[in-house]
Amino acid sequence: MRQAITQVDAFTHTPFAGNPAAVCVLPAPQSEDWMQKVAQEMNLSETAFLVRQDDGFHLRWFTPTTEVPLCGHATLASAHVLWSEGHLLPDEVARFHTKSGLLIAKKQGNWIELDFPVNFSEETTAPPELGKALGVSIKTVMKNSLGYLIEVESEDLVRQLQPNFELLKALGVAKVIVTSLTHTDSEYDFVSRFFAPGLGINEDPVTGAAHCCLAPFWRDCLGKDEFLAYQASSRGGVLKIRYDGGSRVYLSGQAVTILRGELI
């Protein structure tokens, strides 16, 4: 079966930045085994597979090792491909049926807004040696369905983190968000990084799902509903966030196509 595949850098307007994702718009459903093998072959943090339905598209996301229930950057990449490759008209809304429910994407000029479920966190006690595994002193520890959310004292600490991934896995910490406020002169409200050794991804370059957790956390801390966030991986990525305290969070990003190919 010959199958078109597109690689997109998401949460950036600059090639070779943001978070790369592969996107396959399938003419018919394929087996989980086939999709997992394609994701392993692409060896990106996520590969997205879409099949058209009457009222939108069925969407699934695979890392090189497993299927995940929610992925922001590959959803953004998928919406970008649907519009840029002519599957949807520019004024049409992208509707995705996923394991996390119905997700909506809207094109707004050069940005794409994603309508995602919020992910609340609760304060908890840090696992033993978590600070040692991260190599940083911990200010606040929260837990949510994605993993741990760790606040540290400064932006510099977030940017300079060099976690011990083997120790994180040994502690049973599969996924962790580390965040802080930015410097007072920054254009961004907060920075973060996301580590997921349990998914076979030591560090994810830019993570939409993490910002579903970060939005309510920073709304509680800062008392505001709109943010400009920066994920400070080596590639870097920018997100606009809108969250008013309800059950949905709105994440906006840009995307750029890097390559188009064909699986043969």
| Residue of 41, 46, 166, 262 with catalytic role | 46
CA distance 99 to 187: 35
CA distance 130 to 124: 13
Distance separating the N- and C-terminal Cα atoms of the chain = 6
**Residue 123 annotated to the active site:** no
**Is 206 buried (19+), middle (13-18) or exposed (0-12) by CB count in 10 A?**
buried
Residue 53: other Cβ atoms inside 10 A: 12
CA distance 38 to 44: 10
Q: Which residues are catalytic?
A: 46
